[in-house]
C-alpha cells in the first residue's frame, strides 16, 4: 500500500517504470479526444468541481485512463471526499500512476499523470482516509469507467 512518503519519493526521485508506453503527437490526441478531454488530459487543466456524476457512482468496477485505457483505480478504493471530483485511496498498481511536483499555484502539490501516456489526471493529497491517508483527486473527464477489469 502506497503512503505519502512513497508518493513524495516518486515525485522527487523518479517514478517506477510503466508496463508499456503510449506516445502520440498533439494532432493524434486532438483527433481522439474532445476539446474538454484534450484540455484536461493533455494541457493539465482542471474540470469544474461537481461537473460530473462520476463523483456519486460507487458501483463495482475499474477506472482506466481515458487516453490509453490503462487501468488506474478499482472502485473499491473510491470514496466521497466532498470535493466535487472523484477520489480514490490507492491506484490499482504502484506503477500505473506517475507523480510530479507541481508549484503552479504558489504552493507545492503533487500532480498525478498516467504513467503509460502522461495524461494529466489530477493531484494526490495526504488528507485521505486510513489506512493510506491518500486522496487521489481525479478529473472525471480523464477517467473511463468499466464494470470489470
- From the candidates 65, 68, 117, 137, give the one annotated as an active-site residue: 137
State the DSSP string of 43-79: H---PPTT--GGGG---S-EEEETTT--EEEEGGGEE
Nearest to residue 74, comparing CAs of 4, 140, 147, 1?
A: 147
Q: Is 137 a catalytic residue?
A: yes
- Residue 100: CB partners within 8 Å, gap ≥ 6? 11, 110, 111, 113
Q: How many residues does the chain have?
A: 149
Classify residue 134 by its DSSP letter: -
Instruction: Tell me how far apart the alpha carbons of residues 42 and 4 are, in angstroms, rounded to a whole number.
Output: 25
Report the catalytic residues. Answer: 137
Amino acid at each position: 500500500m502506497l503512503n505519502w512518503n512513497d508518493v513524495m519519493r516518486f515525485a522527487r526521485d523518479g517514478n517506477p517504470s510503466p508496463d508499456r508506453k503510449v506516445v502520440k503527437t498533439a494532432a493524434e490526441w486532438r483527433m481522439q479526444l474532445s476539446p474538454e478531454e484534450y484540455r484536461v488530459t493533455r494541457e493539465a487543466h482542471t474540470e469544474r468541481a461537481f461537473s460530473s456524476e462520476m463523483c456519486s457512482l460507487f458501483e463495482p468496477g475499474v477506472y482506466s485512463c481515458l487516453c490509453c485505457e490503462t487501468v488506474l483505480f478499482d472502485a473499491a478504493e473510491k470514496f466521497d471526499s466532498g470535493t466535487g471530483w472523484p477520489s480514490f485511496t490507492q491506484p490499482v498498481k504502484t506503477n500505473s500512476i506517475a507523480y510530479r511536483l507541481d508549484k503552479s499555484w504558489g504552493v507545492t502539490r503533487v500532480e498525478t499523470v498516467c504513467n503509460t501516456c502522461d495524461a494529466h489526471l489530477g493531484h494526490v493529497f495526504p488528507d485521505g482516509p486510513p489506512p493510506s491517508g491518500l486522496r487521489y483527486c481525479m478529473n472525471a473527464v480523464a477517467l473511463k469507467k468499466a464494470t470489470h477489469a
